[in-house]
Amino acid sequence: MKTFVKMIIGLLIAFAGLYWYYAGKYLGKTILGLSITSWEALKILFVGGFGLCLLFFGILVAWIEYEDWKWEREEKRTKRRKKKK
């Protein structure tokens, strides 16, 4: 039951997010006292956050590859040790 309730809550939140942008065209031209529409706010957020997302994604990929490199290096060391024995 808990999973179903969480799924319903998630869908309601998603629909609220869609309504935020859909209704912004018709209900008014201000958001929190600013004279921009919700679509313009979404565009600004996307443009402003895109570089930051690229930065974090790049760091994540580099970190994963670094960990993979360390793991491979450790495996090679253990193989060498086993061959010596």
What distances in angstroms separate CA 57 from CA 16, 46, 52, 54, 80, one per listed residue? 28, 15, 8, 5, 35
Q: What is the mean pLDDT of each run of 10 residues along the chain (85 residues)?
A: 82 84 63 69 84 91 93 91 81
Tokens of 37: 């529409």
**For the chain, how many structural domains are there in total?**
1
* pLDDT of res. 46: 84
What distances in angstroms separate CA 59 from CA 42, 52, 66, one per listed residue? 25, 11, 10
Task: Tell me the residue type at 57.
Answer: F
Give bridge partners of residue 34 from the DSSP assignment.
Answer: 31
Task: Supply the range of the domain harboring residue 47.
Answer: 2-84
* pLDDT of res. 65: 94
Give bridge partners of residue 43 from the DSSP assignment.
Answer: none
